[in-house]
Structure 1
Amino acid sequence: MEFRYSKEVDSSCYETRGLGGGIPLRTHENSLAEVKGTLQAQRDWSRYVRPVGEYRGGLGGRYSMICVTIPECLPDRLEVVSYANEFALLYDDEMEKLDLQSPPSSREILEVFGDDALENQVDADARPEKRLQARLFSRMLAIDSARAAVAMKAWAASVQLAARTRLTTFATLDEYIPARVVDVGELIWFGMVTFGMALSIPPEEHDLCMELARPAYIALGLTNDLFSWEKEREAARRGGQDRVFNAIWVLMNERGVSEEGARTICSEEIQKQVTKYCVVVEETKANLRLSRDLRTYIEALLYSISGNLVWSIHNPRYGSI
């Protein structure tokens, strides 16, 4: 993959806590575009939905989320991708506040990503989140209509699937991981990366693409669980829930270990998946029978892994563990 918009960060400038698998950290050179898009999403949410309050999203001190997870995002798409990412984080926090088994509130917010998710025109009675989504979609369509449609369709499918998986109690980590891949936003991130980098995965390669990328999404999901555990445990407590949709909770119950023991097991699984994915990337890069965009996408996820890890450690959204 050719690097045109990012630079590698000196490894002495960030922590990985032994979970990075030696993958370099890269960061986009135009961080101001991410700041602009992210803050606009927060302002719009505060104006049209509800005040964000003490909410913490994708922006960090030195490392903000999109700049380090999609470091080769096209410069003219970085702002809108950052807006979309912040919208997703705000929406995720909103979903955490809901008891998904208690209509109508959960049904109403899920309708933001219903069958008409690809419509960029909404009526005046639509939920404010729906109106913001339509405006976002219009901006993406104006930049790249084909890839915008792929991204928004993937986003709608992901949210609907994730809402169902959160209703399930998982007895083992092996049962939980496939659901976590869905919940971490495998399809959303597919849309973000392909739109942001102007990639088109041929239909005949789509299933293979998802299969090859799976270890990356397991690593991303478990990294999120490791660093968001305390935030999600507190959200569950406030919501009166008796379980937490998080690998730490699953491991504590499955194996009868402490929080610290569960974190150790989770960390070991992250390392295993990162090592596995590095092999996938090298094999995919060497397979010239695959399309160039598929090979680029698979390599791009390497930097999503390292970027997500460093962002999770250094970002105030989760704090330190």
Structure 2
Amino acid sequence: MQSIAPCPEEDQFSALVPRDTSDLHGFCHGYPLRRHKSEHKANEGSLQLRADWEKYVGPIERWGSCNPWEGHFGAVVLPCCRPERMAIVNYIFEYAFMYDNVVESAAKSTINAHADDIALDETEYRTVRSVTGTKQVQSKMLLELFAIDSTCAQVVLDSWKTMINTTATKDKTRAFRDWEEYVDYRIIDTGAPFVDMLMRFGMGFVLTSEEQASIEPVVRPCYAALGLANDYFSFDVEWEEFQHSAETTMTNAVWLCMHWHGVDVPAAKEMVRQVTTNFEREFQQRVAEYIAGDGRENRKVQVYLRALGYQIPGNVAWSLRCPRYHPHLVQEAGRLLEESMQTASDEGYESPVQEHVKRASVSEESESSDSSVWSGANSPRSSISSASEEEREGGEVKLGSEHLSSPAEYIAALPSKGVREAFIDALNVWLMLPDRQVTLLKSIAKTLHNASLMLDDIEDSSPLRRGQPATHTVYGVGPTINSANYLLLQALDEVRGLEECDRQCLDIYSEEMRNLFTGQSHDVYWTREAVCPAEAEYMEMIRQKTGGLFRLLARLMIATAPAQRNRDIPLLPLIDNLGEYFQIRDDYKNLTEEYTDQKGFCEDLDEGKFSFPLLHALRAQEQEKNDQLWKMLEQGRAAGTMDVAMKRRVLDILHESGSMEYTRKTLQRIMGEIHGGMGRVERQTGCVNWVLRLLVMRLEV
């Protein structure tokens, strides 16, 4: 990469690898190879992932990213990575290799909320453990990313989701007609953009959308070279597996050349090498042109492109003798790796996540399928009548469910954060229910949540839901109420479908639904009658209304847990804390501007609701401002809305009275209780719940 000036600050973490020729196995002409000085941290990250994998998921059969000769994958591909981020970055690399090897379908289901089918056929303990265990590993991984650098971590997470969503829909058996078609496919399939985002995380780099757009044509040949080199070096081991399988096609450039040109393996490999080196030269040329033009003054992008260029020789060097592509080297590599780890300087890696768990121990969004939540969703529709001609002739008419199902289908199609589904996944780390049970519980959660939202929006006269018109504004109040009530019956049928369902499960459903409606009745009464509740009354309303669904799901999971010992876990106090936090957090965010895109600016004030900050202000300040606040609320209630200027004055009073600060401190207190509750359950079960910790971290204000 002669066109970019040296970057000593970034290069200080690595050393130049001397070599006798200007190329590597015929690749990488003019590309300097560097190796990270903190390679032992890369090995530590990989070995930690493998230990976690065996603990949470199961046995490991394939080698990952370690290479004791040319260097660990992360050490030679990302030589500019900050030393303190080497372990987590390579933990993720190792996870990616495990994902590629073992659980592509299961892991896909845990990250991609819109996968076509995430249910597994088996229900035995091993299967449940692998699915739940994969979520544990993913959650631990994401927790650490966000603990280190939340901004860069979000970019990595978005890239991961994009990669999974894209590769999940690609046909791996398709026939490719030419290089351009295949390279476009392979760039995504090999995960080159994701490795790029991990590199940026490792360096602490965030590119603006403008910078990203300007470099897209520059980086494409680099991605292409990486993907084709991967094909070249992985071909032999893939070819061996292919010949012992029933497959009829391979996703590999060498195999494609064999079929496109009718040549043998050596000739096809040489073709792939030539195409790859062409992309390498094209990348160098595009970088030089960019630096001479649009990127002349942008040192950050120059450093980024230099670091990206290091991936090309690093990938090739690692591939030369990595046991992943050369299985006969596994035993010797294992021995050398063990020796190198014993002699490496012991710097004692302790992640922010481990510190987070230590503090807790001291202090004490997936959908199950794309099918409709409505059991009658496949009913025939007709703009005239749902009765068939035969039914009319026979005199017997059957009414279709389309008018009943349409409002429910509408709200089910709106975007959702998937909090309750994630909550079920988190509790299942401890309760270990089989996958079919988990799928049904998620359906129950979604059904009940959608029903409550439809009714809430009517009772609150809310025009918006999730940034879209509320259901009753589209279908009318009567049809929406009818549809929501039917959803409650559907959820009851789903509860009956739970394995081990007995009278206890039905009693749980009845009790918690009664609690939910009781809590909602007080919320509606306070709003309609302009009665400001005491804080204790409001907290009890939250426990019944908001906490009711969380508690219902938890109690059903406990009641149907396969092991008796799991039914004695003290989960309910933790669940109550989560419900409290969730509602007060919603109250707080409704009065902050970042919430306005989804719900409208301070929508609770339009609805006349007594949120947590508001009831504090009405009881905590001098009479003059109290009277002023009441007058504005009365005016807004009479008009059915409150103008923006008046809302801003209410916000000023909430800040002046200390109510927003009081709310924030209350959230901090409840969050402390949540961490304490998690710690107690983790100690009792002997299992750190990374899935729940990630969910809690994402909710934290």
User: How far apart, CA to CA, are the structure 2 residues paired with 1:235 and 1:298?
Assistant: 36
Q: Aligned pair 1:306/2:304, yes or no? A: no
CA distance in 1, matches of 2:64, 2:158: 23
Map 1:206-217 to 2 at 5 A.
206-217=212-223
State whether structure 2 residue 153 is matched by structure 1 residue 153: no
Structure 1 position 276, deviation (Å): 1.1
Report if the CA contact (8 A) 2:56-2:130 is conserved. Answer: no
Aligned to 1:59: 66
Measure the CA separation in 2 of the matches of 1:125 and 1:30.
32
Separation (CA, whole Å) in 1 of partners of 2:57 and 2:93? 17
**Worse-matched range after superposition: 195-204 or 156-165:** 156-165
Displacement, 1:290?
A: 6.0
CA distance in 2, matches of 1:34, 1:313: 19
2:429 is matched with which residue?
A: none
Cα deviation digits, residues 103-139 of structure 1 (max 9, x gap): xxx3x4311221399xxxxxx9963212211110000
Q: Would the alpha carbon gap of residues 127 and 237 (structure 1) be closer, same or farther in structure 2, given more than 3 Å must change?
A: farther
Query: 2:290 touches 2:296 (CA, 8 Å); kept in 1?
Result: no
Spell out the pairing of 1:86-235 with structure 2 (5 A cutoff). 86-94=94-102, 106=105, 108-115=106-113, 127-165=132-170, 166-235=172-241
Letter in 2 for 1:310: A
CA contact (8 A) 1:248 1:266 kept: yes
Q: Deviations over 1:65-108 (max 9, x none)?
A: 0010000100110000010001001111126xx7xxxxxxx3x4
1:31 aligns with 2:8: no
Q: How far did residue 271 of structure 1 move?
A: 1.1
Residues 20-45 of structure 1: per-residue CA shift (max 9 Å, x gap): 11211101101110110010111111
Higher relative contact order (CA 8 A, sep 6+): 1
Alignment of 1:265 onto 2:271 = yes
For 1:167-189, what per-residue CA distance to the aligned partner results, in whole angstroms no more than 9, with x for missing partners? 43323333211101111112211
Percentage of identical aligned residues: 29
Q: State the Cα distance separating 1:264 from its structure 2 match.
A: 0.7
Q: In the alignment, does 2:324 pair up with 1:317? A: yes
Q: Supply the AA of the counterpart residue of 2:219.
A: A
Contact 2:192 2:227 in 1 (8 A): no
Mark the CA change 1:291 to 1:133 in structure 2 (over 3 Å): closer, same or farther: farther
Is 1:75 paired with 2:67? Answer: no
Match of 2:659 in 1: none
Quote the Cα distance in structure 2 between the aligned partners of 1:68 and 1:266. Answer: 22
Q: CA deviation at 1:237?
A: 4.2
RMSD across aligned positions (CA): 2.4
Structure 2 equivalent of residue 43 of structure 1: 51
Q: What does the per-residue CA deviation read over 1:131-181, in whole Å, with 9 as the maximum and x for residues that have no partner?
A: 211110000101000000101110121122123332433233332111011
Flag the 1:128–1:291 CA change in 2: closer, same or farther, 3 A: farther
Return 27-36 or 226-235, whichever deviates more. 226-235
Task: Give the Å deviation of 1:233.
Answer: 2.4
Name the structure 2 match of 1:84: 92
**Does the residue aligned with 1:27 lie in a helix, a strand or coil?**
strand
Distance 1:172 1:125 in 2: 39
In the superposition, relative to structure 1, how do residues 243 and 264 fare at CA in structure 2: closer, same or farther (>3 Å)? same
Question: Counterpart amino acid of 1:134?
Answer: S
SS at match of 1:12: coil
Partner of 1:102: none
How big is each residue's C-alpha offset from its partner over 1:231-275, in whole Å with a ceiling of 9 and x where there is no partner?
Answer: 222344455211111001111111111111110100001111111
Partner of 1:103: none
Counterpart of 1:158 in structure 2: which amino acid? M
Q: How many corresponding residue pairs?
A: 304
Paired residues of 2:78 and 2:311 also in contact (CA < 8 A): yes
Distance (Å, rounded) in 1 between the aligned partners of 2:303 and 2:135: 32
Which of the two has higher C-alpha Rg? 2
| Cα 1:137/1:14, change in 2 over 3 Å | farther
Q: Give the letter for the 1:109 counterpart.
A: A
Rate the CA distance shift 1:261–1:66 in 2: closer, same or farther, 3 A.
same
Instruction: Give TM-score, length-normalised by structure 2.
Output: 0.41
In structure 2, distance between residues paired with 1:156 and 1:236: 29
Query: Cα–Cα, structure 1 residues 171 and 13, in superposed 2: closer, same or farther, change >3 Å?
Result: closer
CA contact (8 A) 2:49 2:95 kept: yes
Structure 1, unaligned stretches of length 5 or more?
99-105, 118-123
Checking the alignment, whether the CA contact within 8 Å between 2:58 and 2:130 is kept in structure 1 is no
Give the SS at the match of 2:113.
coil
Distance (whole Å) between structure 1 residues aligned to residue 311 and residue 271 of structure 2:
22
Q: Using the alignment, how far apart are the partners of 1:240 and 1:291 within structure 2? A: 52
Tell me, in whole angstroms, the C-alpha distance in 2 between the residues paired with 1:52 and 1:14.
Answer: 38
User: Is 61-70 or 157-166 further displaced after alignment?
Assistant: 157-166
Alignment counterpart, residue 7 of structure 1, candidates 5, 15, 19: 15
CA 1:262–1:190 in 2, change beyond 3 Å: closer, same or farther? same
